[in-house]
Amino acid sequence: IESKSFAIGNGETQTNPNATPAIIDSGTTLILADDDVVKAYWGQVKGAEVNEDGVTFPCNTQLPDFHIALGPTYMATVPGDLMNYMRVSNGARGVCFGGLQSNSGGSKQIYGDVLFKSQFVVFDGGNKTVGFAPHK
């Protein structure tokens, strides 16, 4: 699907200038997005770090909501608490692994379970379509 725009928290909608097509994949855990999107989101999170294993951040951080275009007319919202995939180390603050990670320059963005937790998703194989609606 086309996925060319996004927003962070209450911020303005931004265009992903080098957007690759996205696939919706129930077999993928994270949201794997283009680097411009990943950098923009985690750039808003104090203490976030990008390393060879992915993006991590202090677990006590309140993450902003992530809004992502799914097709030309629908903007899905993933609440900030779902953007925290898991704790990877303990300690005073703990370190957590982000639910939004880089697709490593791949030719597709892959939207997995982190997105699914915030949306009702319907796959229509006969008509080759997918539909979305927010959880309420």
The predicted-structure confidence for 33-74, as pLDDT tens digits, reads as follows 999 999 999 999 999 998 888 999 999 999 999 999 999 999
Say what the pLDDT of residue 51 is.
85
Check whether 79 has a pLDDT greater than 80.
yes
Q: How many CB atoms lie within 10 A of CB 37?
A: 25
Q: 16-30, 52-66, 86-100: lowest mean pLDDT where? A: 86-100
82: phi then psi, degrees, rounded to nearest 5: -80, -15
pTM value > 0.75: yes
Q: What is the CA radius of gyration of the chain?
A: 15
Which two three-digit tokens encode residue 77?
A: 């919202």
Q: Measure the CA–CA gap between 111 and 12, rounded to whole angstroms.
A: 22
| pLDDT band, residue 90 (cuts 50/70/90) | confident
Higher pLDDT, 104 or 92: 104
SS3 label, residue 113: helix
Give the pairing type, strands 66-70 and 74-78.
antiparallel
Which two three-digit tokens encode residue 83?
A: 């953007």
**Of 82, 64, 72, which Cα lies nearest the Cα of 119?**
82
Q: Measure the CA–CA gap between 42 and 40, rounded to whole angstroms.
A: 6
Q: Measure the CA–CA gap between 61 and 94, rounded to whole angstroms.
A: 10
